[in-house]
């Protein structure tokens, strides 16, 4: 546009261009030039400051202009053609003439830009005139500072006001199109595995919800812009592959690769979308949010698939409390282990820590002899010190994340749930298994409300990780529970309260395992 500008004028023009893009304008207006000049540090802004024309005064006069632009405000390349308005062109013409008159025949400085603003009729000139600054006053100022001997800074890279070329726009939309396709394909592979191979209703629901949110993001990227810039035949990447791309040794490998594919594609959309400027600021914003959700989905679904085989096959879960035993707690444990219990949970609320730990260590030895899982209720510290297989938490206990910080990533964490919503939340938070109930009134624990078999049926349909129906289950009603489709039950009184705990265990096994 002009042969050369000082560094200060280049900065001012860039700022004015960013402001125009931020305000979704198609041209750079005089007030925008004044805004950029006032917010810059240059000879022109120094003159304004000496005349007591400050940024505060500007924003009082023009309240709809921002105090500043966001630090990461990108250049407005989404504008097909961002140019100076007619008035702004006249301002630059006047500035160029002023520079020539001062003996600077090529370079235009910020003080000359200010002179142009004072010469051409506009809201900017009106603002300046009302505050006592006129073009005649500045002519004297410019004469005092003309003809200095040192050379001014010459901008090596000329400023282009027309925004991106059509080729640059094409490249941006081509990148976004490819990334959107990769993301959608990756999540679809995951959903097909979770839905058709694993029959996991929770995972399928979460993935479907995610895809619907991704569709909202996709609507922000116009189909025409994507399709007209797509060039599959010209994509050099389609003929390049690595050996690992052709190798998948397990379902976990398959899912992990496609989760990574989706997350990486979203990062590309997030970063490239910033080049589209303020008019498209929702694209990077939504892409970032979806990327973080992919990380949570990956954790939830991969953990569901990598559940311990021993836990997955468990059917009879025994909760043991000394005060509820009609014989002795140790007799209950020993006889139940011999007669086929799969998991034992120690639940002792009244024992002091030392006594509880001693009991836990004894139980750990006994369960290890017959390869039965040991879970500690509510005490992850005890679980660590006795090397139990995991810990069980109630709704009012510490979070699953906090429990994992204590017991480590490889131990089991169970969570009691009393509704489908609580169950779904526990799955997302990373529980390995759930307690589902209370199904019936129980003599071992008080509840204000019993969820009954309806919640058990919901769990059958919706919950993919292992879970155990719990609450008042005994020989008389266990068949009702199993008939709903439940695979496992957790019991306490029906075994602990029996004078023959071994026989009671055997009887429950007949109902649960057939």
Please report where in the chains the tokens 């009691």 appear, as a residue. Answer: 416
Question: What's the pLDDT score for residue 151?
Answer: 40
The model carries a pTM of: 0.62
CB atoms within 10 A of CB 264: 15
Q: Which of 129-143, 178-192, 392-406, 411-425 is predicted least confidently?
A: 129-143
Looking at residue 4, its pLDDT comes to 59
How much is the pLDDT for 180? Answer: 96
Confidence of residue 106 (pLDDT cuts 50, 70, 90): low
For residue 238, the tally of other CB atoms under 10 A from its CB is: 9
pLDDT over threshold 70, residue 105: no
pLDDT at 467: 97
Q: Environment class of residue 141 by beta-carbon count within 10 Å: exposed (0-12), middle (13-18) or buried (19+)?
A: middle
pLDDT digits (tens, 9 = 90+) for 43-85: 888 888 888 888 888 988 998 899 888 766 655 544 445 678 8
Instruction: Report the candidate in 163, 294, 131, 290 with the shortest Cα–Cα distance to residue 215.
Output: 290
Average pLDDT over residues 464-470: 95
Q: Is the dihedral of CA 223, 226, 231, 236 positive or negative?
A: negative
* Percent of the chain whose pLDDT exceeds 90: 56
The structure tokens 């879960």 sit at 317
Per-residue confidence band for 304, with pLDDT thresholds at 50, 70 and 90: confident
Residue 40 confidence class, pLDDT cut points 50, 70, 90: confident
Strands 107-108 and 4-5: parallel
CA atoms within 13 A on the CB side of 323: 8
Strands 83-84 and 107-108: unpaired
Mean pLDDT over residues 392-408, rounded? 95
pLDDT level of residue 18 (50, 70, 90 thresholds) = confident
- pLDDT at position 500: 96
pLDDT tens digits, one per residue of 145-177: 444 333 433 333 444 444 445 557 788 999 999
For the chain, helix (H) and strand (E) counts, in that order, are 23, 12
Strands (E), 421-474: 433-436, 467-470
Asked whether 469 and 443 are in contact (CB, 8 A), the reply is no
Q: Which of 120-134, 172-186, 358-372, 377-391 has the lowest mean pLDDT?
A: 120-134
Measured CA to CA, the distance from residue 368 to residue 444 in angstroms comes to: 27
Among the listed residues 193, 202, 196, the one whose alpha carbon sits nearest the alpha carbon of residue 248: 193
User: Over the stretch 268-288, which tens digit does the pLDDT of each residue have?
Assistant: 999 999 888 777 889 999 999
Residue with tokens 């009954």: 452
Give the tens place of pLDDT for each residue, 317-350.
999 999 999 999 999 999 999 999 999 999 998 8
User: Which one has a higher pLDDT value, 152 or 267?
Assistant: 267
Q: What is the mean pLDDT of the chain?
A: 86
**DSSP for residue 152:** P
89 pLDDT band, cuts 50/70/90, is: confident
> Among 17-21, 161-165, 507-511, whose mean pLDDT is lowest?
161-165
pLDDT of residue 74: 55
Question: Going by C-beta distance under 8 Å and a sequence separation of 6 or more, which residues neighbour residue 98?
Answer: 112, 115, 116, 142
pLDDT band of 445, cuts 50, 70, 90: low
Check residue 390 and give its pLDDT.
Answer: 97
Q: Which of residues 296 and 4 earns the better pLDDT score?
A: 296
Residue with the two structure tokens 């209950």: 332
**Cβ-proximal residues to 479 (8 Å cutoff; 6+ apart), any chain:** 511
- The pLDDT of residue 147 is 43
Give the residue, 105 or 457, on which the prediction is more confident: 457
Higher pLDDT, 97 or 151: 97
């Amino acid at each position: 546009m002009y042969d050369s500008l000082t560094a200060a004028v280049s900065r001012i023009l860039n700022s004015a261009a960013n402001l125009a893009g931020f305000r979704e304008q198609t041209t750079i207006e005089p007030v925008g030039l004044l805004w950029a000049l006032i917010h810059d540090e240059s000879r022109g802004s120094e003159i304004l400051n000496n005349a007591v024309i400050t940024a505060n005064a500007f924003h009082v006069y023009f309240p709809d202009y921002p105090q500043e632009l966001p630090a990461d405000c990108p250049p407005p390349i989404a504008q097909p053609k961002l140019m100076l308005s007619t008035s702004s062109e006249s301002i630059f013409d006047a500035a160029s003439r002023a520079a020539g008159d001062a003996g600077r025949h090529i370079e235009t400085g910020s003080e000359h830009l200010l002179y142009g603003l004072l010469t051409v009729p506009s809201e900017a000139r009106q603002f300046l005139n009302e505050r006592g600054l006129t073009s005649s006053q500045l002519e004297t100022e410019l004469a005092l500072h003309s003809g200095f001997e040192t050379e001014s800074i010459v901008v090596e890279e000329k400023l282009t006001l027309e925004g991106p070329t059509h080729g640059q726009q094409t490249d941006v939309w081509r990148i976004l199109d490819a990334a959107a396709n990769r993301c959608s394909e990756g999540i679809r592979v995951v959903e097909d595995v979770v839905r058709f191979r694993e029959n996991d209703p929770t995972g399928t629901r979460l993935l479907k919800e995610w895809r619907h949110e991704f569709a909202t993001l996709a609507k922000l990227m116009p189909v025409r812009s994507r399709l007209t810039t797509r060039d599959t035949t010209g994509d050099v990447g389609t003929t390049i592959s690595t050996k690992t791309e052709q190798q998948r040794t397990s379902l976990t490998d398959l899912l992990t690769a496609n989760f990574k594919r989706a997350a990486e594609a979203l990062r590309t959309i997030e970063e490239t979308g910033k080049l589209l400027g303020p008019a498209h600021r929702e694209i990077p914003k939504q892409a970032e949010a979806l990327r973080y959700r992919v990380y949570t989905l990956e954790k939830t679904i991969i953990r569901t698939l990598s559940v311990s085989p021993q836990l997955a096959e468990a059917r009879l879960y025994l909760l043991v409390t000394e005060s509820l035993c009609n014989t002795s707690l140790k007799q209950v444990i020993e006889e139940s282990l011999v007669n086929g219990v799969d998991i034992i949970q120690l639940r002792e609320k009244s024992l002091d820590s030392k006594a509880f730990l001693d009991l836990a260590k004894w139980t750990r030895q006994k369960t290890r002899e017959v390869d039965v899982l040991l879970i500690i209720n509510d005490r992850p510290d005890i679980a660590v010190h006795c090397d139990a297989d995991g810990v069980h938490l109630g709704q009012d206990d510490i979070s699953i994340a906090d429990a994992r910080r204590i017991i480590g990533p490889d131990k089991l964490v169970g969570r009691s749930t009393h509704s489908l919503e609580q169950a779904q939340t526990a799955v997302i938070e990373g529980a390995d298994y759930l307690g589902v109930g209370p199904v019936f009134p129980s003599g071992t624990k008080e509840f204000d409300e019993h969820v009954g078999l309806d919640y058990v049926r919901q769990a059958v349909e919706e919950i993919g990780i292992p879970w155990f129906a719990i609450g008042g289950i005994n020989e008389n009603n266990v068949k009702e529970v199993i008939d709903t489709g439940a695979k496992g039950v957790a019991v306490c009184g029906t075994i602990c309260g029996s004078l023959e705990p071994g026989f009671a265990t055997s009887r429950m096994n007949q109902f649960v395992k057939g």
